[in-house]
Amino acid sequence: MNGFVDETTIVVSSGGGGDGAVSFRREKYVPRGGPDGGDGGKGGDVVFTVRPNLKTLSHLKFKRIFRAENGGRGSGKGKHGKDGADAVVEVPPGTVVTDEDGRRIADLVAAGERLVFLRGGRGGRGNSRFATSTNQAPRHAEKGAGGESRQLKVELQLIADIGLLGQPNAGKSTLLSVLTNAHPAIADYPFTTRIPNLGLLRLSERDLILADLPGIIDGASEGRGLGLRFLRHLSRCSAVLYLVDLGDTDVPRTVRSLESELKTYSAELAARPRLIVGTKLDLPDAAERLGELRAAYPEERVHGISSLTHEGLAALGALLLDLVTVGAEGERRA
């Protein structure tokens, strides 16, 4: 998969606190030296941090266990033990962290965002802390508190405004390449797109992020083709672009198939604002099939384009901007 990893499981552990010290002053001319045992150091924390230059979770496939350092023991002369180093888990923007029960712990989106997930154990107190008027030479110190360990699921959900949904060879990657700065793999065979691709569409009013997902075929919800694995990347999109190859003989059926597979995965995603786009308008009979699409969906916007001749692309930009605006307003109302 060209190193693209969008989910994995890791184990994280915070550090235990260091033990406090039992020690007494041994100084010349101090015949009855008091206790001077120092406190133990604090254990290291488990910290998630967002690095914008990371694009996948592939680095977490090679390192799945993150352990923070234990705090150091206290020592004589009131010396504090060294605090343990943190375990830092670096993730790309759009990372969702859940626990073993599926409860969401964090949704890490902003570059530089930092989350302290597990706190390190507190260091134990040295015997100098226990001296009182009635117990001037305590011979006991406190053990450091233990750390915690958790198993977590880490998932990447790409941050995009619009997701491109279509069957293999519907022209998603080609459209992404002509509209944006992306350079996805393009070829004349199914499943050219094997990983999601992002592209930036620059418009006068606003920049839009488009996400091209691997093709969806009939039976994807049962695992056919690449299945629905990558549809999680639609979860952050305000809207969905249904791309239909106008070279197909039954274009309304293609849309119904995409609708069915997306609804099987998530009814909420299937209800997002959408635009149906007929691609390859330069093909023979394409105009007639675009008419069939419009007749099948009279209440919706249906637009035709050709990535080869660029017909319809200028108007498409305005439609996409309007689509995202509608989607954002719906999210605010929700």
How far is CA 93 from each of CA 49, 155, 251, rounded to the nearest angstrom? 9, 11, 36
Residue 140 shares a structural domain with residue 284 = no
- Which of 62-71, 261-270, 305-314 bottoms out in mean pLDDT, i.e. has the lowest? 261-270
What CA–CA distance (Å, rounded) separates 331 from 328?
A: 5
How far is CA 288 from each of CA 40, 150, 243, rounded to the nearest angstrom? 79, 58, 17
**Residue 247: closest CA among 168, 158, 149:** 168
- In this prediction, residue 180 carries a pLDDT of 84
Of 156, 172, 204, the residue at which a domain comes to its end is 156
Mean pLDDT across the chain: 86
- In this prediction, residue 191 carries a pLDDT of 41
Of 90, 123, 156, the residue at which a domain comes to its end is 156
Mean pLDDT of 55-81: 93
CATH of the domain at 197: 3.40.50.300
Residue 100 shares a structural domain with residue 146 = yes
HSE toward the beta carbon, residue 33, CA cutoff 13 A:
16
Of 156, 185, 211, the residue at which a domain comes to its end is 156
How far is CA 304 from each of CA 100, 174, 276, rounded to the nearest angstrom? 46, 15, 9
Residues 6+ apart with CB under 8 A from 43: 14, 15, 16, 17, 18, 68, 69, 70, 71, 83, 84, 120, 121, 122, 123, 144, 145, 147
* 3-state SS assignment for residue 333: helix
Using a pLDDT cut of 70, give the percent of the chain over it: 87
Residue 166 shares a structural domain with residue 145 = no
- In this prediction, residue 2 carries a pLDDT of 47
Residues 6+ apart with CB under 8 A from 286: 246, 247, 278, 280, 304
Instruction: Tell me the sheet residues that pair with 302.
Output: 276
Residue 145 shares a structural domain with residue 57 = yes
Give the single-character DSSP code of 191: T
**Residue 158: closest CA among 98, 115, 199:** 199
Residue 149 shares a structural domain with residue 176 = no
Residue 187 shares a structural domain with residue 56 = no
Q: pLDDT tens across 8-62, in order?
A: 999 999 999 999 999 988 776 655 678 999 999 999 999 999 998 888 899 998 8
Number of Cβ within 10 Å of residue 123's Cβ equals: 31
Range of the domain at 110: 1-156
How many domains in the chain? 2
- Is the pLDDT at 247 greater than 80, yes or no? yes
Residue 133 shares a structural domain with residue 269 = no
Q: pLDDT tens across 198-208, in order?
A: 888 888 778 89
- Which of 3-7, 44-48, 156-160 bottoms out in mean pLDDT, i.e. has the lowest? 3-7
Give the single-character DSSP code of 58: T
Q: Which amino acid is at 299?
A: E
Q: pLDDT tens across 206-244, in order?
A: 889 898 887 776 655 555 555 456 777 888 888 999 999
- Is the pLDDT at 192 greater than 60, yes or no? no
CATH of the domain at 23: 2.70.210.12
Residue 48 shares a structural domain with residue 167 = no
- Is the pLDDT at 190 greater than 60, yes or no? no
- In this prediction, residue 134 carries a pLDDT of 86
Q: What is the pTM of this model?
A: 0.76
Of 54-58, 175-179, 279-283, which has the strongest mean pLDDT? 279-283
Q: DSSP string spanning 258-277? A: HHHHHHHH-HHHHTS-EEEE
Q: pLDDT tens across 85-138, in order?
A: 999 999 999 999 999 898 999 999 998 999 999 999 999 999 999 998 888 889
**Pairing status of strand 7-13 against strand 95-98:** unpaired
Residue 114 shares a structural domain with residue 190 = no
Question: Do 194 and 172 contact (CB within 8 A), yes or no?
Answer: no
- Is the pLDDT at 310 greater than 80, yes or no? yes
Q: How confident is the model at residue 280 (pLDDT cuts 50, 70, 90)?
A: very high
Residue 146 shares a structural domain with residue 167 = no
Reading the block at residue 223, the tokens are 């695992």
- In this prediction, residue 302 carries a pLDDT of 96
**Residue that wins the pLDDT comparison between 30 and 293:** 293
What CA–CA distance (Å, rounded) separates 274 from 320?
A: 9
Residue 181 shares a structural domain with residue 271 = yes
Q: How confident is the model at residue 1 (pLDDT cuts 50, 70, 90)?
A: very low
Q: How confident is the model at residue 193 (pLDDT cuts 50, 70, 90)?
A: very low
Rg of the chain taking only CA atoms, in angstroms: 29
**Residue that wins the pLDDT comparison between 316 and 221:** 316
- In this prediction, residue 223 carries a pLDDT of 54
- In this prediction, residue 6 carries a pLDDT of 85
Residue 183 shares a structural domain with residue 265 = yes
